[in-house]
Structure 1
Amino acid sequence: MLSLKNFLKEEVKPALGCTEPGAVALAAARAVEEVGNAPVDSIKVLVSGNIFKNGMSVGIPRTNGLRGNIIAAALGALCGRSSFGLEVLKGCTDDAVPNAQKMVSSGHVQVLPDPEQNGVYIKASVKGGERAATCIIEGSHTDIVQVIADGKTVFSVEAETKENRSRGKESISVAREIAQMPFSSVVALVQQMDDDDVSYALEGARMNMTMAEHGFDESRTFGLEVGKTLKRAAANWETQDKYIKIRAISSAASDARMSGAPYPVMSSAGSGNHGITAILPVYILGRELGKSDKEIAKGIIYSHLCTSFVKSRLGRLSPICGCAVAAGAGAAGGIVHLLGGSDVQASKAMELVLGNLVGMLCDGAKETCSLKVGTGAFEAVLAAELVMNGHCIKIPQGVIDEKIEETVANVVTVNTQGMRCVDKIILDIIASRSAC
């Protein structure tokens, strides 16, 4: 039976840089660990179209503005540590960057899309001297499913699963478990919250606020400076209305993160930008209203649960922008909970966000993600306030149905059937541009 502790451990964790190139670096790092001390001669990484798209243009932390999966793969092989998970590159030093650039410019690193793969899929193969190794990540960004060294499998999830079955310890991922649970059962997990969970939720908020502060740094330029532009436009920042403040702070955090600022954020459902959207609107509003740490933490955890409820059904990577749609809906639910609303009211606020933003597509991780994060954060607060003031959809219309489970199922249908060609189209656009 799923516990809140297990949920937070698997679905809410720190991530350094964008999670797609982070996962590429993780796969390369794990493969290299099997070739010992032999210098790395070549790296070849096959990825799904989703990973290729999301890692093409995003900044890599601690690289002075370098971008993309290819530099992430090189760094992962040269200085990454798989034990750090999505913070795989946090131990890299400055001298690793020129070495990684040299590997890339000499043609020793390849990152190619695999048209047969979807969602999260990465196959990193490295050669060093007489040694060769491969690591495959599939399902979620940290799920290493197979490691092969010199032609022999040294780890496989399939073998581990068989062993667990023989011991009566078979388990499924938290995301898969959430996908099978009704909304009421998912959000009921928040009642298990203890003091350690409060501290963990608030630590995540502090991490994401720290990233936002860097996005506001006037001495640096991060991305489009969406957050900074909104803050500058405020007549009086300290008394500015909460809608603009929440949008500006959330956007600033994404501005910095997408530009490769060297600081971690707390992720949600496998994504740092999801974490920014799911956490900051709840946290900022809670502080503005003078709520207690416990109340704010509970609202944040509720938001994570709501985000996972949607995201577990949409899939880890999808044609629909998860940081606005899934995490925006999650934040709306979390805000309603913070304001004392019921689970039904939280679901109604989520439906307003889903009905509003369902058509927002994901065209890769990059600078303009800060616009989408800001949109998701803004619409979350609006939806929560509408519902708390008695304004919600009472009869089915559009994608909004009788229950949140049915509404999310409709969104999934739009995602999997109505937008099935979107990823290919976006990938074709990116590929044609990079070929020029």
Structure 2
Amino acid sequence: MFTLKEFLKEEVKPALGCTEPGAVALCVARAREELDDLDIASIEVRVSKSIYKNGMYVGIPGTDGLKGNDVAAALGAVCGKSALGLEVLKHCGRGHLEHAMTMLKDGKVRVIPDLGRDGVFVKADVMSSSGQKAACLIEGAHTRIVRVEKNGRVVTENSEAPTEKSSKKPEGDVSKQLANMRYREALRVLGEMDDDDVEYIMEGVAMNVAMAEWGFEHDVGLGFGAMIKNLAGESWDTEAGLPAKVKAWCAAASDARMMGVPLPVMSSAGSGNHGITAILPVYIVAEHDGASRRDTAKAIALSHLTTSFIKSRMGRLSPVCGCSVAAGAGAAAGIAYLRSKSFEMAERAVAVMIADLVGMICDGAKETCALKVGTGAIEAYYAAMLALRGGLKPPQGVVDALIEKTVDNAARLNTEGMTGVDAILIRQMQSR
């Protein structure tokens, strides 16, 4: 059984920019670090359809709005530092961007989708002008480097990572355990929370609040969060206005993040937008209620645990929008627990959320993610409130009497029923 600290270390991490192009940049950067000659002749990156889809239209931090996996790959080669994980492009500047754009213009970078692969899979092959070659494979999770090679010789290899033939195996030790646990069993680690855990969780709150504030204050993306705030008017600080407030804060953060604003967010289960959705609704309600710092952190930790519990079954990347379904369910559970101190209420909220949004499709990371993040946030609030009134009477639809079975039903609908969705979406995008 993992500890709370182990869970937070593996599943709740800072991320700069969208995590899919972030994984591409990380993979290229790690391969390039093996080369003695840094004059790059070519970069070829092969990615799963999930990675390809999510990186096509999303902004890359520090590029003034440039988008795409190819931009991330070029920057990873020029200025990426693999030791920074999902903040791999943290130290990239204007000169680096110009160099990266020259590489793209010269046709040195190719990103190729493997339509036969799902989940997290990135394989980068980098060659220098002197003929040196290096390769890196990331699989199973966005920062899970499985193998690094130099001139055909294995430099490092993670023997416990999933093999190159399958990207559907569990992402890491914590996720692997969660996939085989009951929900209440996973929540036991909340009893271990100490002051360091509280501070780490609240550090994530500060990151995501800062991103939302940027979205409110600047005209970025759709401007959806700022629009909702303006429409809320005098109800903004009332209980009646709380649903709109929750939605606006999450949408504003996504508005900024999807356009590549160079600020980190605290991710959840491998996704920054999951982190926004899992954290901010719970925090906004806690602030409204005047909850203590520790109670707020505990409810947010429960939200993270719930998000990862669902993602461990549904897959790290999937045809279904994890921000609304998984992280939205996490937020619903967190809000319900915050206002009841009851795990049963949290379970009821998860069931309501899955019944509500289980079929929402992910059509890639882009500015319209603010719409779906906002939907996940506001529906999380309503799901929590409905749960506190009694929730649903199972079974009905995907909802079962057991929360584990409900999540498994939703996961099967996703992994078995929607297997062709990503390939269709990619073909539609490529045809433009």
TM over 0.5: yes
- 1:45-194 equivalent positions in 2, closer than 5 A: 45-128=45-128, 129-158=130-159, 173-194=173-194
Cα pair 1:137 1:143 within 8 Å, conserved: yes
Q: How many residues align?
A: 421
Secondary structure, aligned partner of 1:323: helix
Secondary structure, aligned partner of 1:324: helix
Secondary structure, aligned partner of 1:8: helix
Deviations along 1:336-376, one digit per CA (max 9) or x if unpaired, are 11112421211111010001000100000001101000111
- 1:37-436 equivalent positions in 2, closer than 5 A: 37-128=37-128, 129-158=130-159, 173-217=173-217, 220-236=218-234, 238-240=236-238, 241-390=241-390, 392-433=391-432
- Find the aligned partners of 1:387 and 1:172 in 2 and give their Cα distance: 32
Deviations along 1:36-66, one digit per CA (max 9) or x if unpaired, are 2431121110001110000000000000110
User: Deviation above 3 Å: which 4+ runs of structure 1?
Assistant: none
Cα pair 2:282 2:334 within 8 Å, conserved: yes
Secondary structure, aligned partner of 2:159: helix
Secondary structure, aligned partner of 1:222: coil
**Counterpart amino acid of residue 307 in structure 1:** T
Secondary structure, aligned partner of 2:322: coil
In 2 relative to 1, CA 172–38 (structure 1 residues): closer, same or farther, beyond 3 Å? closer
In 2 relative to 1, CA 159–212 (structure 1 residues): closer, same or farther, beyond 3 Å? closer
- Find the aligned partners of 2:237 and 2:283 in 1 and give their Cα distance: 17
Cα pair 1:38 1:131 within 8 Å, conserved: no
Secondary structure, aligned partner of 1:46: strand
- 1:24-39 equivalent positions in 2, closer than 5 A: 24-39=24-39
Residue in structure 2 matched with residue 167 of structure 1 by the alignment? none
- Find the aligned partners of 1:294 and 1:172 in 2 and give their Cα distance: 28
**Counterpart amino acid of residue 412 in structure 1:** A
Cα pair 2:146 2:161 within 8 Å, conserved: no
Moved more, 244-253 or 230-239: 230-239
Secondary structure, aligned partner of 1:291: coil
In 2 relative to 1, CA 376–101 (structure 1 residues): closer, same or farther, beyond 3 Å? same
CA RMSD of aligned residues (A): 1.4
Cα pair 2:236 2:244 within 8 Å, conserved: no
Cα pair 2:121 2:140 within 8 Å, conserved: yes
In 2 relative to 1, CA 159–320 (structure 1 residues): closer, same or farther, beyond 3 Å? closer
Structure 1 stretches lacking a partner, 5+ long: 162-170
Cα pair 1:179 1:309 within 8 Å, conserved: yes
Deviation at 1:387, TM superposition (A): 1.3
Structure 2 stretches lacking a partner, 5+ long: 163-170
Deviation at 1:93, TM superposition (A): 1.4
**Counterpart amino acid of residue 229 in structure 2:** K
Deviations along 1:45-99, one digit per CA (max 9) or x if unpaired, are 0001110000000000000110000000000000000000000000111111111
Percent identical pairs in the alignment equals 53
- Find the aligned partners of 2:236 and 2:359 in 1 and give their Cα distance: 34
Secondary structure, aligned partner of 2:229: helix
Deviation at 1:234, TM superposition (A): 1.9
Residue in structure 2 matched with residue 164 of structure 1 by the alignment? none
- Find the aligned partners of 2:50 and 2:172 in 1 and give their Cα distance: 23
Deviations along 1:251-274, one digit per CA (max 9) or x if unpaired, are 000000000000000000000000
Secondary structure, aligned partner of 1:234: helix
